[in-house]
Amino acid sequence: MIAENIERLQAEIPENVTLVAVTKYHDLADTKAVVAAGIKDLGESRVQDFLKKYEAMDHVNWHFIGHLQKNKVKQIIGKVYLIHSIDSLELLEIVNRESEKAGLVTDVLLQLNLAREETKYGFEKENFNRVLEKAMTYQAVRIKGLMAMGPHTENNQEIRNIFVELKQIYDKIKEHYHGDKLSMEVLSMGMTDDYKIAIEEGSNLVRIGRKIFSSEEI
């Protein structure tokens, strides 16, 4: 079932779009089945679950996609391929400090809160330039792009508007900033319910969980 779902998804997703399989809440056997089906990029949203899986499976690009608590940063540095969920400068500063201590550079995305739902973390678009200027001063992190979640709604136009907005912000940054510490390469948007819209609007990385593990077509 997992292999069939992945095959169906891969047939649908353009080649330039990375499929990150979100394995949160699924056990090691199911997570290994995802890799056996040809997926190299896996996403987890909780530090403890991630560490458990990392111990068993370290030849995988592990994406950290959930809200990251500052006191847990240290545990994942050097193990994660990309942190999607940098949602404050304080968090970025800690990631920088722990990376420096470990003698490495960590790749991250900045998460924007465009849907403005209370439950969502992320930077506001207002004054985001100031965030970027500050972010570029950290030596042990590389800002590789942006991440956002679509709004919880059945209204596809509302979802599309958010993705269009994120793509515009991404393109503008790409135009104005590039350097060793900041280069827009990854636009992480789209999940099970909205990845088709996200791809149409320029996503190059989708984070998909439920559709991979579902026993019915969704």
Ligand X SMILES: *Cc1c(COP(=O)(O)O)cnc(C)c1O
Q: What are phi and psi of 86, to 5 degrees?
A: -75, 110
Residue 121: CB minimum distance to ligand X, A: 9
Q: Binders of ligand X among 28-57, rule CB under 6 A?
A: 45
Q: Binders of ligand X among 46-105, rule CB under 6 A?
A: 65-66
Q: What angle do CA 12, 17, 21 make, to 5 degrees?
A: 80
Q: Is 191 in the site for ligand X (CB under 6 A)?
A: yes
Site size for ligand X, by CB under 6 A? 13
Distance CA(213)–CA(22), nearest Å, equals 10
Residue 59: CB minimum distance to ligand X, A: 22
Closer by beta carbon to ligand X, 107 or else 193: 193
Answer whether 140's CB lies under 8 Å from 181's CB: no
Q: Is 207 in the site for ligand X (CB under 6 A)?
A: yes
Options 2, 22, 73, 112; binder of ligand X; rule CB under 6 A: 22
Answer whether 27's CB lies under 8 Å from 215's CB: no
Distance CA(27)–CA(19), nearest Å, equals 19
Q: Is 122 in the site for ligand X (CB under 6 A)?
A: no
Answer whether 55's CB lies under 8 Å from 77's CB: no
Closer by beta carbon to ligand X, 173 or else 189: 189
Residue 182: CB minimum distance to ligand X, A: 22
Residue nearest to ligand X (CB): 209
Q: Provide the 3-class DSSP secondary structure of residue 123.
A: strand
Half-sphere exposure for 112 (CA within 13 Å, toward CB): 26
Options 132, 192, 196, 202; binder of ligand X; rule CB under 6 A: 192
The residues binding ligand X (CB under 6 A) are: 22, 24, 45, 65-66, 191-193, 207-211
